[in-house]
Chains A and B, each alone.
Chain A
């Protein structure tokens, strides 16, 4: 079975540009999570969705960040405008919406803002 698929794997762009990260969850999973990983702050939950509805976006750092899940098989995380401090690895994970279920992670997008 295919795991969580993220694209692109690497993104290098200049400050001020719009960045869009994409995620395809595991088929049948109805929860989706976006994380950011940095050396300084470790793994941070940005936002998560259940059944395509955002449940908790308290981790989204500021208004420059937005996330959507238009259907059960696709989600995007957008940064506009991007800043150098947004450089990080961004992970998407999915799971069943049921207690005790583990999250399954994609391989991440390594984002570098110059």
Chain B
């Protein structure tokens, strides 16, 4: 079965600093991978997805993620964090034999200090 691990429950970065949020997945075949962001009181918003092709994918709000099959990872990055990026971030994995079900990680809460 698929599974997703987000090792960091909380991360604090300074405004303007770079950011990397870690995501490791367990899945036997080529996964579909997603990053979502959730602001307080709101639903999850899709940041980016990996389906196939180029392993470095660009998303909204200046985020990018890189799929590394050898490390079973799909880490989210942003070169310069803004205070408005403070939110909770979820990594999710899907696979062809699971239809369009997704398994979500536990989330990483990002705090941005000025």
Interface residues of A (CB under 8 A from B): 4, 31, 33, 42-43, 45, 48, 50, 55-56, 91, 93, 95-108
Contacts and interface: CB of A to CB of B under 8 A. Distances in A.
Contacts of B102: 45, 103
Contacts of B49: 100, 102
A77 B52 CA distance: 34
Contacts of A108: 42-43
Contact of B44 (A50, A55, A95, A105): A105
Contact of A100 (B44, B51, B90, B104): B51
A106 B46 CA distance: 12
B10 to A, nearest CB: 13
Interface of B: 32, 34, 36, 41-46, 49, 51-52, 90, 94, 96, 99-102, 104, 106-107
Contact of B107 (A33, A42, A96): A42
B96 A99 contact: yes
Contacts of B94: 99-100
A91 B43 contact: yes
A33 B44 CA distance: 13
Contacts of A99: 32, 51, 94, 96, 100
A97 B100 contact: yes
B44 A91 contact: yes
B43 A107 contact: yes
A1 B31 CA distance: 29
B34 A102 contact: yes
B99 to A, nearest CB: 7
